[in-house]
Structure 1
Amino acid sequence: MKWTLFASVVLLASAHVLALLRFPCAQLVLDRLDPLVNPGAIPSPHLHQIVGGNSFNATMDPKKDMPKESTCTTCQFSEDFSNYWTAILYFKAKNGTYKRVPQIPNSGFDGVNGGMTVYYMQDGLYDFAQKSKVTAFQPGFRMYIGDVNARSRKDVERFRQLTYTCLDTINTRDPQTLDFPAKPCKTGIMTALRFPTCWDGKNLDSPDHMAHMSYPESGSFETGGPCPATHPVRMGQLFYEVIWDTSKFNNKDDWPADGSQPFVWSFGDSTGYANHGDYLFGWQGDALQRALDNPCYQTCTTLKSQNNAAMNKCAGKRVVNEDIDGWIKELPGGYQANYRK
């Protein structure tokens, strides 16, 4: 995947109007809640980092109007009350204890408290004009990408686009790997999650939260591949970037004695293959469709925006009271590296 050109164009955004919906969402909460995979469970099995509307809770009834339930959002576009979340990254020290890896803002988003960068795109990453017509997600829509049990390259390859980048600078975008970087990364590690883009046109969800969506029949979203007959509706591509500040853990003397990489997901995966993400649609009215029909970049006059202070202020409080930030002997939920309950 050739990202160097993409990174360069993003850096020139202040001087040129780009048709690419890219925006930051500050951290809403770190908690063991998962209303998609483990609805109603308090706590859910493993720890997540969540951004978006502050109505996020353990249940998230799809029949409720998320924008009306929320009073604020941690995302830049104040009409977006969706929730976006991923697992949390931990460092495992040589002595077997764990420490949470903090998140830092992406390039161009200084002042945003951690969180992630969210993209909605009409065309592939190499077509910055973004001219295609795509359908926005609908109220009640939700989906998931990845496999929490994946522990091999074969397991993760079926998802195509769940990757890691070892950052030399905040703007590094190549190379991308499917597993954790094996060396210290000067600025941190960026995880990228790109969701499927073809919808069956009927179901807002499915039992595995994936079957109602599909990848293109051939090629990819980036190359303009056609949607299969079973999933004929072409949606915008939803895409997350999360930057983990692993630079604080770059002393190899603290790494495992066998020289293996020291990072592990909050559910125990130390291969990196089980990277996954969740999404609950919550845009207000037709705001997302308007933005996709009139593509823009960051300073989007089609949408209402809010400043960093308002985004950061929307942060909530954790429901599950447990130590997630100290040096801990086991991951929240009782996990150990490479072990899953």
Structure 2
Amino acid sequence: MYWQSLLVLALAAPSRAIVRFHCSQLVRERLDPLVEPGANPSAHVHQIVGGNSFNATMEPGKDMPGESTCTTCTFADDFSNYWTAIMYFRAKNGTYKRVPNIGNNQFEKANGGLTIYYMQDAIYDQNQKSNVTAFKPGFRMFIGDVHARTLAEASRYRYLTYTCLDTWTQRSPEMIAFPQRKCKEGIMTTLRFPTCWDGKNLDSPDHMSHMSYPETGTFESGGPCPATHPVRTAQVMFEVLWDTKQFNELEWPADGRNPFVWSFGDATGYANHADYVFGWKEDSLQKVLDSPCYFYTNCSEYGHKLQSVDDMNKCAQKPVVGEDIDGWLDALPGGYHSQYGPASG
């Protein structure tokens, strides 16, 4: 149903942009300039995409387009950084192995990375008519709770989900905990950021309070923004495809539980989270949003600069944290082990 809806949308050009594009992997390492600025290394491993000015500090006044020499994203003017934690497989003997992330539909040749959406209305809406405000230089936000281990704790972030893929194009059903069975084509995580901005603060101490969900309803239903956060922004959404299928033939843990774990130890899946630091060049994002640009396929017709997957893959950083994150490890980088929360409904 998901991809049927997108096909209908593709045949009916939107009046305003609905953008879907990919960013190849920039680097994987223990840096987190949003939550732990300056820490080298940070607490747990992340996968980072976007502009190559990414570093441990990322001062708020940083000119990301000016300091970057390349970006891993389809849109050549997008020097933002987007990142998530990394998934690991926990073997029966208690050792860990990193789960590769792979290119999404239409981006199979990409060097891992994330698929990014900027939406002005629901993805299945054929007429993207809303006027939304692009983020400003210095804007950043975070979504999720790294300490969540129960459904109740995760329910605040109900837009962070998993799909157990039995086919390559499957996009439902979505769940908010790790799947408890083997997924034939891997696991997809979907991370949706809030869409209402207070109109003043580019960041907040928890990197979340300057943003809000709609006062009633949802982004998809066109729910209004609360008076405290009156400015409607595009919804930023990540899709990440994890190649868990290569672990389906290995022996799973003796207790029968899900064998996958986030790089900070969460084995429930409830602590899924994501980070975003805006870095589009000048007003290029607003221009994209104001044009009838569908995904990325026709965007060059409206003057938006695109680059090939090969060029995206060429942009990369060498890790500055010298440690093994890819071998069979006795503990997760940073010393973490699997953490299960108490049973919850």
Question: Smaller-chain TM-score range?
Answer: over 0.9
Shift of residue 11 of structure 1?
5.4
State whether structure 2 residue 11 is matched by structure 1 residue 10.
no
SS at match of 2:245: helix
Does the 8 Å contact 2:25/2:72 carry over to 1? yes
Question: What secondary structure, in the 3-state scheme, does the structure 2 residue paired with 1:247 have?
Answer: helix
Tell me, yes or no, if structure 1 residue 291 matches structure 2 residue 291.
Answer: no
Matched, 1:51 2:52: no
TM-superposed deviation, 1:132: 0.5
User: In 2 relative to 1, CA 119–200 (structure 1 residues): closer, same or farther, beyond 3 Å?
Assistant: same
> Are 1:262 and 2:259 matched, yes or no?
yes
| Kept after mapping to 1: 8 A contact 2:111/2:313 | yes
Work out the CA distance in 2 between the residues paired with 1:136 and 1:96.
Answer: 45
Say which SS state the counterpart of residue 21 (structure 2) adopts.
strand
**Partner amino acid, structure 1, of 2:274:** G
Return the TM-score normalized by structure 1.
0.95
* Alpha-carbon distance between aligned partners in 2 of 1:12 and 1:231, rounded to the nearest angstrom: 33
Residues 134 and 13 from structure 1, CA distance in 2 versus in 1: closer, same or farther, beyond 3 angstroms? closer
Deviations 1:195-220 (A, max 9, x none): 00000000000000000000000000
Deviation of 1:14 after TM superposition, in Å, equals: 7.1
**SS of the residue 2:82 aligns to:** strand
TM-score, normalization by structure 2:
0.94
Aligned counterparts, 1:106-121, within 5 A: 106-121=104-119
Aligned residue in 1 for 2:162: 164
Q: Give distance in 2, aligned partners of 1:140 and 1:108.
A: 31
Q: Distance in 1 between matches of 2:79 and 2:90?
A: 34
Query: Offset of 1:326 from its aligned partner?
Result: 0.6
- Is 101-110 or 24-33 further displaced after alignment? 101-110
Which letter maps to 1:10? L
1:323 aligns with 2:324: yes
**Corresponding residue number in structure 1 for 2:190:** 192
The 5 Å alignment of 1:88-107 reads 88-107=86-105
CA distance in 2, matches of 1:11, 1:99: 37
For 1:273, which of 249, 270, 275 is the aligned residue?
270
For 2:76, the aligned partner's letter is: S
Q: Is the 8 A contact 2:268 2:340 kept in 1?
A: no
Q: Deviations over 1:92-151 (max 9, x none)?
A: 000000000001111111211100100000001221321110000000000000000000
Give the Cα–Cα distance (whole angstroms) in 2 for the partners of residues 282 and 304 of structure 1: 15
Q: Distance in 1 between matches of 2:49 and 2:130?
A: 28
Give the total of aligned pairs.
Answer: 335
> Aligned with 2:66: secondary structure?
helix
Cα RMSD, aligned residues only:
1.5
CA contact (8 A) 1:136 1:288 kept: yes
Greater alpha carbon shift after TM alignment, 127-136 vs 227-236: 127-136
* Change in 2 beyond 3 A, CA 1:50/1:11: farther
- Percent identical: 66
Name whichever of 151-160 and 70-79 sits farther off. 151-160
Aligned to 1:308: 309
Q: Contact (CA 8 Å) 2:5, 2:124: kept in 1 or not? A: no
| One-letter amino acid of the counterpart of residue 63, structure 2 | D
- The equivalent of 2:153 in structure 1 is 155
